[in-house]
């Protein structure tokens, strides 16, 4: 069983350096180009099912790949990005100006900072585990793909590999980059991480 993970293309919020979370931002012009390039690379793996989160940026990124593969994307709330609560829609300079004490804590340790309205870590982990169950439900499938979100995919990879969830999450995903996971005979492996060659290819 192979799982192909890809982060959505760049959004308008990414371009402005804003926290997104559950806030629904569209792709930027660059993000739309990245989605087209991702489609060709994703088709190489021939996924039989294409999952997305229920947020616009994920579904917009999936559209070109779905068309190329002849698939209907399957959006699910379980794949939605982590919620940043109070921080959503804000940039770092805005956080520093509006919430200086929180800003200092965030800069020291983003994971432990008490962010009002954020998704509780235990609830987030349960959602990740539910998402993995969906992705690993073979049901006659040998390859599935998920176009998701940076923080979600980072934590999902930690969970998939059985690493310490309380420890570092060392897998930052770039926009429209591809990561390939495999589960075979009960063993789980990371085959490729954050592949971006397709984004560097010229259009000529």
Angstrom CA distances, 99 to 76, 93, 114, stand at 33, 10, 12
In this predicted structure, what is the pLDDT of residue 139?
Answer: 84
pLDDT in tens, 79-100: 999 999 999 999 999 999 999 9
Residues of the chain with confidence (pLDDT) below 70 = 201-204
Name the pTM for this structure.
0.94
From residue 154, how far is each of 40, 61, 71, 86 by CA, in Å? 23, 18, 26, 21
CA pair distance 178, 196, nearest whole angstrom: 7
18: left (phi over 0), alpha (psi -120 to 50) or beta: beta
What's the pLDDT at 201?
64
Q: Where are the domains of the chain?
A: 2-83+119-200
Distance CA 38, CA 46 (A): 13
- DSSP, collapsed to helix, strand or coil, labels residue 65 as helix
Q: Residue 49's beta-bridge partner residues?
A: 144
May I ask the CATH architecture of the domain 2-83+119-200?
3-Layer(aba) Sandwich (3.40)
């Amino acid at each position: 069983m192979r799982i192909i993970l890809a982060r959505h293309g760049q959004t308008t919020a990414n371009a402005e350096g804003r926290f997104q979370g559950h806030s629904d931002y569209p792709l930027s012009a660059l993000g739309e180009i990245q989605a087209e390039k991702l489609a060709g690379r994703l088709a190489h793996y021939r996924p039989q099912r294409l999952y997305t989160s229920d947020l616009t940026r994920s579904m917009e990124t999936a559209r070109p790949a779905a068309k190329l593969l002849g698939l209907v994307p399957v959006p699910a709330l379980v794949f939605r990005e982590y919620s940043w609560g109070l921080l959503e829609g804000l940039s770092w300079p805005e956080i520093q100006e509006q919430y200086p004490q929180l800003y200092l804590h965030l800069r020291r340790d983003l994971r432990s900072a008490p962010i009002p309205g954020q998704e509780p870590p235990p609830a987030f982990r349960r959602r990740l585990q539910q998402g993995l169950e969906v992705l690993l439900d073979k049901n006659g499938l040998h390859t599935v793909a998920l176009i998701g979100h940076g923080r979600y995919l980072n934590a999902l990879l930690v969970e998939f590999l059985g690493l310490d969830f309380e420890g570092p999450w060392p897998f930052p995903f770039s926009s429209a980059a591809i990561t390939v996971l495999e589960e075979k005979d009960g063993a789980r492996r990371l085959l490729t991480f954050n592949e971006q060659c397709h984004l560097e290819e010229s259009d000529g």
